[in-house]
Amino acid sequence: MTLAEKILARHAGLASVKAGQIVMAKVDLAFGTDVTTALSVEVFHRMGAEKVFDTHKLALVNDHFVPAKDVQAAALSKAMREFAQEQGITNYFEVGRSGICHSLLPDKGLVFPGDLIVGADSHTCTYGALGAFATGIGSTDLACAWALGELWFRVPESIKVVVEGRFGPNVGAKDLILKLINILTVDGALYQALEFTGSSIRNMSMDGRITVCNMAIEAGAKTGLIAPDETTWDFIRGVNPARLISNPASLDLDSDPDAVYSQVVHIDLDSLTPLVAEPYLPSNVRPIKEVTGIKVDQVVIGSCTNGRLEDFQVAAAIMQDRPVHPGVRLLLIPATPQILIALIESGLAARFVKAGATLSPPTCGPCIGGHMGVLAKGEVGLFTTNRNFRGRNGHPESKVYLSGPQVAAATAVKGVIADPNEI
């Protein structure tokens, strides 16, 4: 079996499953956000459910429209807050102690290798970075999971992505996943799992793995997965030592040698350059050389894709002491309070603000076109986020280019899309 099949089989109480099979499987975590939970609460009650299946296996995260962008958004958070109180949900995350769910939940120790996780947010696939099978669902599915503790899943075929070689200067995890989406296109992995392997994945930090698995959905995938290794267990040791086990190998979280894949894709990092996805699809990927010089009004570094500490460190290293270009607004959105604290304590926050950037509280904000930096008609943005669909980040006639933090930092300094290796 593949890793995806193994995790689903275990949670379905079956010895084995095959791609294409539909199973009912028990979930370890079923979470919602301020933008999806209020509807789940309404549906939960309509289902006639009274108590959630396990008050410790839910997480309710304020992240999309917080701090409340308007009265309606405040009402959405209020509905979630009241449900958390009514049900006694232990993992309710209030503004100030909350962050972007896909960064927050791993850091809170709520993701464990081999877990089956569902969340009412499409980027739930991120947790595959820790070897969990995690996938996005809608609000009605989430209510079902809360009521029953289980949900139906179609066992996905897996595409094996073998990554070898080393990143060149100013090339990183975002460039790798943009390259893969360019190869597969936006539906090339539809209904399937992406399993990332190879020496370069083994050598990649957890922050990099989170970036890679986060965008699996942009190729249509149900989840992205990386089998747990020493990097994974080191991460777990830091966030949830109580759940550490003495013999991780006994969990058997590796695909079998005879596992069946629908496709194998090889990516060689040695030949990768910084990449940018042009509007209006994340698969419209171009080498940086083909897009330099395009004037940009706003640069955003943040989101569940690239809002981790490493992303800001990379950006700071490229900016050095250079100011933000006068024609550009640079918005930095650390994904969690912990990352915000690290930026403050390391002095990076002050450096960025002195350079002319502004620092936002943790939120999805402009990535979903909610608040904290949406674009006006005709404006151009370069964001480290995950989607550049028409109207996603503001006015339908605005445009967003997607990149990693390296190109974003170079662009913020130059005022036009710039190659981080040539500034």
Q: x-or-dash pattern for other proteins, window 237-256, by CB under 8 A?
A: --------------------
Phi-psi region of 342 (alpha: psi -120 to 50; beta: other; left: phi over 0): alpha
Dump the DSSP string for 13-44: T-S---TT-EEEEE-SEEEEETTTHHHHHHHH
8 Å CB contact between 279 and 399: yes
Q: Considering the rule CB under 8 A, would residue 379 count as an interface residue with other proteins? A: no
CB of 268 to other proteins, least distance (A): 28
Number of residues assigned to the chain: 423
How far are the Cα atoms of 71, 199, 384 from residue 44, in angstroms, in the given order?
A: 24, 45, 35
Q: Considering the rule CB under 8 A, would residue 53 count as an interface residue with other proteins? A: no
Sole binder of other proteins in the list 134, 144, 267, 314 (CB under 8 A)? 144
Sole binder of other proteins in the list 76, 84, 173, 267 (CB under 8 A)? 76
Q: Considering the rule CB under 8 A, would residue 399 count as an interface residue with other proteins? A: no
Q: Considering the rule CB under 8 A, would residue 36 count as an interface residue with other proteins? A: yes
How far apart (Å, rounded) are the C-alpha atoms in residues 221 and 133?
Answer: 12
Cα dihedral value 212, 216, 218, 219, nearest 10? 120
| 182 Cβ contact list (under 8 Å, min separation 6) | 275, 277, 283, 285
CB of 180 to other proteins, least distance (A): 16
Q: x-or-dash pattern for other proteins, window 90-129, by CB under 8 A?
A: ------------------------------xxx-x-----
Sole binder of other proteins in the list 8, 38, 155, 177 (CB under 8 A)? 38
107-146 burial, b at 16+ Cβ within 10 Å, e below that, comes to: bbebbbbbbbbbbbbebbbbbbbbbbbbbbbebbbbbbbb
The DSSP letter of residue 48 is T
The DSSP letter of residue 2 is -
How far apart (Å, rounded) are the C-alpha atoms in residues 378 and 391?
Answer: 11
Sole binder of other proteins in the list 18, 22, 56, 85 (CB under 8 A)? 22
Q: Considering the rule CB under 8 A, would residue 406 count as an interface residue with other proteins? A: no
Q: Considering the rule CB under 8 A, would residue 259 count as an interface residue with other proteins? A: no
CB of 47 to other proteins, least distance (A): 4
How far apart (Å, rounded) are the C-alpha atoms in residues 32 and 92?
Answer: 10
Q: Considering the rule CB under 8 A, would residue 396 count as an interface residue with other proteins? A: yes
CB of 140 to other proteins, least distance (A): 4
Q: Which is nearer to other proteins, 348 or 367 (CB)?
A: 367
8 Å CB contact between 330 and 356: yes
Only segment of 71-79, 170-178, 250-258, 415-423 that touches other proteins (CB under 8 A): 71-79
How far apart (Å, rounded) are the C-alpha atoms in residues 158 and 155?
Answer: 9
Q: Considering the rule CB under 8 A, would residue 200 count as an interface residue with other proteins? A: no
Q: Which is nearer to other proteins, 140 or 421 (CB)?
A: 140
DSSP 3-state of 146: helix
How far apart (Å, rounded) are the C-alpha atoms in residues 204 and 201?
Answer: 5
Sole binder of other proteins in the list 56, 154, 166, 243 (CB under 8 A)? 154
CB of 168 to other proteins, least distance (A): 31
Q: Which is nearer to other proteins, 72 or 247 (CB)?
A: 72
Q: Considering the rule CB under 8 A, would residue 390 count as an interface residue with other proteins? A: yes
CB of 139 to other proteins, least distance (A): 5
CA atoms within 13 A on the CB side of 218: 28
Q: Which is nearer to other proteins, 388 or 406 (CB)?
A: 388
8 Å CB contact between 264 and 389: no
Q: Considering the rule CB under 8 A, would residue 35 count as an interface residue with other proteins? A: yes
Residues lying near other proteins in the complex (CB under 8 A): 22, 35-36, 38-39, 42-43, 46-49, 65, 69-70, 72-73, 75-76, 120-122, 124, 136-141, 143-144, 147-148, 152, 154, 186-187, 190-191, 220, 222, 281, 368-370, 387, 389-392, 396
